[in-house]
Structure 1
Amino acid sequence: MRNSIAIFFTVLLSLQLSAQWKPAGNKIKTAWAEKIDPKNVFPEYPRPIMERADWKNLNGLWNYAIQPKGASQPTRYDGKILVPFAVESSLSGVMKEVGASKEVWYSTSFTVPGAWNGKNVVLHFGAVDWKTEVWLNDIKIGSHEGGYTSFSFDITPFLGNNEQNLVVKVWDPTNDGPQPRGKQVKEPEGIWYTPVTGIWQTVWLEPVAQKSIAHMKSVPDIDNGTVKIETDIVGGTYGDIVEVSISDGDKKIATAKSSFGESVVINVPNAKLWSPESPFLYDFTAKLISDGKLVDEVKSYFGMRKISMQKDQYGVVRMQLNNKDYFQFGPLDQGWWPDGLYTAPTDEALKYDIVKTKELGFNMIRKHVKVEPARWYTHCDRLGILVWQDMPNGDKSPQWQNRNYFDGTEFKRSTRSEAIYRKEWKGIMDYLYSHPSIVVWVPFNEAWGQFKTEEITEWTKAHDPSRLVNSASGGNFYRTGDIVDLHNYPGPKMYLYDAERTNVLGEYGGIGLPLQGHLWKPDNNWGYIKFKNSKETTDEYIKYAKELKQMVLRGFSAAVYTQTTDVEGEVNGFMTYDRKVDKMDFSAVKKINLEIINAIHE
């Protein structure tokens, strides 16, 4: 009888939650929107590159209110919002504009599991756009600026006895401010999209010991057959030991120890190299031992791979993967969703675009002026796809030159704007450093917010010497960094060549095909060129691909086609914005793509 009563109340609660939430608006939606359970949103562990056994998901229905900027905490809220979907998105259940003159307030309550007694409790935010202030039990515990970096607070000192009350305030000026914002603008049109305000990645709790591993960094070295593991320890003291054990599947292959504050270098015998064709990952555990006792343990993985450049027999500087010439080819991937905007509806959806990219025969993705949740990069690591990671642009742009080396005046950011850029870019690189899929950093794109190019390029390179730096994608080129990156629409062109750097076609294509019933803006959509059916669109793609293949032989070492999916008013994707229709013949595209990738070996 008790079980029947418990089941009844569980079903009743589920129905109440469902009644409090539904997607807002009448825009197109993905098939995954129908699969969302408001009491179980993104149940997957949010940070697989550093995983602990225990955690608690705080996603779900929270209270929200939109208030004038500077107003005090609301005494009454406007309704419910589904976290982690941004306020302007359909899946939030709100779909309202916010803007620079207003702030979003959130509140929720939670309990800490009794099994966590004696542990410190850390509150994690995957990402919140843009300025965040946090209160727990009416005590302000901290703040954060940055829309693309994770942040956390040790909330242990502020916990009450039973239910905990969490309040979050967010302000996002979109394009009224100088902060990184990517394609967001308050008046979206053309290549500019809907603003994203507030929480847009998972919020979660994690129990940790008073001494714990806060951050890890893996640095593979295939030339010497080693991997270096660096760990940052909270509360660590002299005498503490970190023990790292590496496994190949169920087989343990190496173990090493380091003292507090030291990194550990481990031999990886007969290393299996990571590549898109063979994305092998080694698992490892890191144990923190203090006074002879195990106090913390995390699981992670790494890939043995190397990205570099080398002149070929004809004097062309080629990108190399694992010391072999390797042509990188992939789509421009903006990571937008018609129902979730910045946030994919589910983890399955998050993975889907990568799977389709592989299906098209590509080996690379350029993640365009957006940073994804940590799980997206793990999907890339596991599926085998190279990633070029853009810095999401912000502020204004100087004059743009793309046919020669830049001879104009660079944009001069304010001291505040420059500090915001540097902090966020460093945070992005630090957070994503250990993902083997990432092979190129892109600090600037088409002059947006471009400043101190040579200094930022050298600083980026010094911060991570293991990857290539594409300092100025699309124009305003300097003789710095590793790559000269041309953009040309619609067809491919090679109009500038640098004999000392890798030459790439960082954007081309944009072949449009609007499909009724799958349009974000049914009466206002565009592509660089537009066709009427899949055959025409595929034929045009193949025509450009054959031109590109000849340019590979003449010196291009990578290319990026625009784009993975339609995005809002843009209809130039391989797939519709709702991911329900493949707009080209994927098998024909794959065939010509593989010919391009293999052209440098002919």
Structure 2
Amino acid sequence: MKHCLPLFLAAMLFVGATATAKSWAPAGDLIKTPWAAQVDPSNPLPEYPRPRLARTEWQNLNGLWDYTIAPKGAALPVAYEGQILVPFAIESSLSGVQREVGSDNELWYQRQLAIPAAWRGKNIILHFGAVDWRADVFVNGAPVGSHTGGYAPFSFDITRFLNASGSNTLVVRVWDPTDASDNPVGKQVRNPKGIWYTPVTGIWQTVWMEPVPKNHIKDVQTVSDIDAGTLAVTVDTAAPATVEVELVDNNKVVATARGNAGEALTLSLKTPTLWSPENPKLYDLRTRLLSGGKTVDEARSYAAFRKISMKRDASGMVRMQLNGKNYFHFGPLDQGWWPDGLYTAPTDEALLFDIIKTKELGFNMIRKHVKVEPQRWYYHCDREGILVWQDMPSTHSYGLGAKWGRNTLGGGIDTLRTPLSKDNFQKEWGEIMDFCKGHPSVVVWVPFNEAWGQFDTERIAKWTKERDPSRLVNAASGGNMRACGDIVDFHNYPAPKMFPGYTNLALVLGEYGGLALPLPGHLWKPDGKNWGYGKVKFTGKDDLTAKYVEYTKMLKDMVAEGYAAAVYTQTTDVEIEANGFYTYDRKVLKMDGPAVRDANRKVIEALAE
């Protein structure tokens, strides 16, 4: 599917910002990535935002919007105090603002919408990639809808709110209490320090519109069965309909099926090419909604044949398998933060950079740590070929009866959380799973990390598995470990360490390493207490690499003892953490790349068939 996106990019309709873009500039004087200089305020992040369900007509709403910060509960603003570059959070440099909002205030956005004449007679869908945390949307002063949760996409049909001719006004109100709540927030805190980072408030992914027929395709999900050579395709539509799907390989239709929307349609292929990090084969998928024998709506997608499973080997150890073969998962803890854009990569090239460099270092997996990425990130993982462990962004519900039973099987006490808090968590986790599960690269769900807001562990693990039985569930990475899910996951810093596991679960080392080398000129806070795990102080690339290789040799021996996967902390430095392979600005690889790659491949290859 490497070839598919230009078709849609060529047809993109864009309404850019006005000449005021000339006055925009990144705010602050903190370090920036090389891509910050490539951000075009009249056309930021112009790529098609939803490659897993693509149409030819769309309009990108990124660019300069009006903004103001007002006390919580204030009326619709009459005037705005400045401009902000969407989709960068207001606390970020690339927003051009770099201001805090706080839980006592709300952030208001405004811009004008121009609906192309060619879209008349169609329904207009307004899409938000992600807004942190509560978003209330208004068109021409009328409330359109609301959404809570900072990580999942949402959309509204705004057709009936639009003026038949002339300009339309879009307003978005955002309230984000960050860690002054028990909402999922990941690593965000109001007082950043240590492993906790700057808050991210408001719109932080692409905003866009598309025209669709009244009854239209809303989603396409696929589940492959490589043993049977089948692909189950479920097409979700706005109303009951007949749909047709075609599986395409190199522009040749290799399988087709027709049936009812909402039901799984089966595509059969005798000898499908299987997807793996070594051969990330993607098939194109064409979907049509039919009425009276005619195509009413159509969309392009893609799919892959792959299987993730577990099996006990001859030595009695439970091994993770890919496509029916033992496969050791090894990759970095990936926070997905940027010094200039915070949650948002400056450009699509930047978003791809971390994935490419992770593969170049010899890894076959990424653990996306307590954050969710834009869909293009998962598309890049699908296309480039790397396994993804997807974390649920954690909450900061400390003290509510919780006790962390660190690396203790059956130890610890889960958090006491209110029914509303539990409902919010489960709602957002379900939305995130639905958003990610169409991507073959995503192979493991991780609902909890290190007992941060962990609750009802057995129930959540069971619910997660029932919602998606095609993937493995790592119920509590380094948290309060229970005999549930598919994996038992230990954390140990800085050196890898072997722990006893449940005999019926895969045993993994979910975090280790964190070796730090602060490099002057590449630090978020040059005078801050830049840190990493362990007491060893490194002088440069050579001794840092030597210690990393030493740890991989230890880890390799532990593979024979039972480890099925491992995660090294981390891809890049983040704020005052100086423990990345790369500096926070992505300008320097702090270790010897070929030596790291060779060491990593030896660990992965230690798990022989």
Structure-1-length-normalised TM-score: 0.96
Match of 2:82 among 64, 75, 79: 79
Trace 1:478-557 onto structure 2 (pairs within 5 A).
478-524=482-528, 525-529=530-534, 530-557=537-564
Query: Contact 2:406/2:412 (CA < 8 Å) preserved in 1?
Result: no
Cα RMSD, aligned residues only: 1.1
Supply the AA of the counterpart residue of 1:504: V
Match of 2:26 among 19, 23, 27: 23
Secondary structure of the 2:607 match is helix
CA distance in 2, matches of 1:379, 1:234: 28
CA distance in 2, matches of 1:499, 1:199: 45
Q: CA-to-partner distance for each residue in 1:243-295, whole Å, 9 max, x for gaps?
A: 10111112111111012442201102210000000000010100000122211
The alpha-carbon deviation at position 56 of structure 1 amounts to: 0.3
Structure 1 residues 546 and 203, CA, compared in 2 at 3 Å: closer, same or farther?
A: same
Which moves more between the two structures, 196-205 or 68-77?
68-77
CA distance in 1, matches of 2:179, 2:561: 40
The alpha-carbon deviation at position 14 of structure 1 amounts to: 8.2
Query: Contact 2:130/2:154 (CA < 8 Å) preserved in 1?
Result: yes
Trace 1:286-365 onto structure 2 (pairs within 5 A).
286-365=287-366
How many residues are matched? 587
Secondary structure of the 1:440 match is strand
Structure 1 residues 139 and 367, CA, compared in 2 at 3 Å: closer, same or farther?
A: same
CA distance in 2, matches of 1:392, 1:74: 32
Q: CA-to-partner distance for each residue in 1:151-202, whole Å, 9 max, x for gaps?
A: 0000000110211100000000000011100000000000000000000000
Query: Contact 2:410/2:483 (CA < 8 Å) preserved in 1?
Result: no
2:465 corresponds to which residue?
Answer: 461
Q: CA-to-partner distance for each residue in 1:423-478, whole Å, 9 max, x for gaps?
A: 00000001111100000000000000100000000000000000000001003110
Identity of matched residues, % = 59
CA distance in 2, matches of 1:73, 1:14: 23
Structure 1: runs of 5+ lacking an equivalent = 1-12
CA distance in 2, matches of 1:390, 1:82: 28
CA distance in 2, matches of 1:14, 1:306: 45
Secondary structure of the 2:449 match is coil
1:144 corresponds to which residue?
Answer: 147
Query: Contact 2:248/2:285 (CA < 8 Å) preserved in 1?
Result: yes
Match of 1:436 among 435, 440, 458: 440
CA distance in 1, matches of 2:368, 2:396: 20
Q: CA-to-partner distance for each residue in 1:532-554, whole Å, 9 max, x for gaps?
A: 20111101100101000000111
Q: CA-to-partner distance for each residue in 1:336-363, whole Å, 9 max, x for gaps?
A: 0000000000000000000000000000
Tell whether 2:602 aligns with 1:595: yes
1:446 corresponds to which residue?
Answer: 450
The alpha-carbon deviation at position 15 of structure 1 amounts to: 8.9
The alpha-carbon deviation at position 306 of structure 1 amounts to: 0.4
CA distance in 2, matches of 1:15, 1:139: 25
Query: Contact 2:26/2:93 (CA < 8 Å) preserved in 1?
Result: yes
The alpha-carbon deviation at position 118 of structure 1 amounts to: 1.3
Trace 1:327-406 onto structure 2 (pairs within 5 A).
327-397=328-398, 398-406=402-410
Which moves more between the two structures, 251-260 or 265-274?
251-260
Query: Contact 1:404/1:496 (CA < 8 Å) preserved in 2?
Result: no
Supply the AA of the counterpart residue of 1:22: A
Secondary structure of the 2:172 match is strand
2:116 corresponds to which residue?
Answer: 113
1:9 corresponds to which residue?
Answer: none
Secondary structure of the 1:435 match is coil
Secondary structure of the 1:276 match is coil
The alpha-carbon deviation at position 91 of structure 1 amounts to: 0.1
CA distance in 1, matches of 2:242, 2:420: 40
Query: Contact 1:403/1:496 (CA < 8 Å) preserved in 2?
Result: no
The alpha-carbon deviation at position 76 of structure 1 amounts to: 1.5
Structure 1 residues 573 and 405, CA, compared in 2 at 3 Å: closer, same or farther?
A: same
Query: Contact 2:405/2:413 (CA < 8 Å) preserved in 1?
Result: no
Query: Contact 2:17/2:64 (CA < 8 Å) preserved in 1?
Result: no
The alpha-carbon deviation at position 416 of structure 1 amounts to: 1.1
CA distance in 1, matches of 2:271, 2:393: 39
CA distance in 1, matches of 2:424, 2:410: 25
Match of 2:35 among 22, 32, 43: 32
CA distance in 2, matches of 1:269, 1:422: 39
Match of 1:567 among 541, 561, 574: 574
Query: Contact 1:17/1:38 (CA < 8 Å) preserved in 2?
Result: no
The alpha-carbon deviation at position 73 of structure 1 amounts to: 1.7
Supply the AA of the counterpart residue of 1:29: K
CA distance in 2, matches of 1:486, 1:546: 18
Secondary structure of the 1:601 match is coil
Structure 2: runs of 5+ lacking an equivalent = 1-15
Structure 1's consecutive aligned runs of 4 or more residues displaced over 6 angstroms after TM superposition are none
Query: Contact 1:492/1:508 (CA < 8 Å) preserved in 2?
Result: yes
Query: Contact 1:273/1:303 (CA < 8 Å) preserved in 2?
Result: yes
Query: Contact 1:20/1:80 (CA < 8 Å) preserved in 2?
Result: no
Query: Contact 1:246/1:254 (CA < 8 Å) preserved in 2?
Result: yes
Query: Contact 2:308/2:320 (CA < 8 Å) preserved in 1?
Result: yes
CA distance in 1, matches of 2:579, 2:61: 37
Tell whether 2:416 aligns with 1:409: no
Secondary structure of the 2:546 match is helix
CA distance in 2, matches of 1:170, 1:473: 31
CA distance in 2, matches of 1:466, 1:442: 14
1:48 corresponds to which residue?
Answer: 51
Query: Contact 1:514/1:532 (CA < 8 Å) preserved in 2?
Result: no
Supply the AA of the counterpart residue of 1:79: G
CA distance in 1, matches of 2:272, 2:344: 36
Supply the AA of the counterpart residue of 2:248: S
The alpha-carbon deviation at position 402 of structure 1 amounts to: 2.0
CA distance in 1, matches of 2:378, 2:327: 21
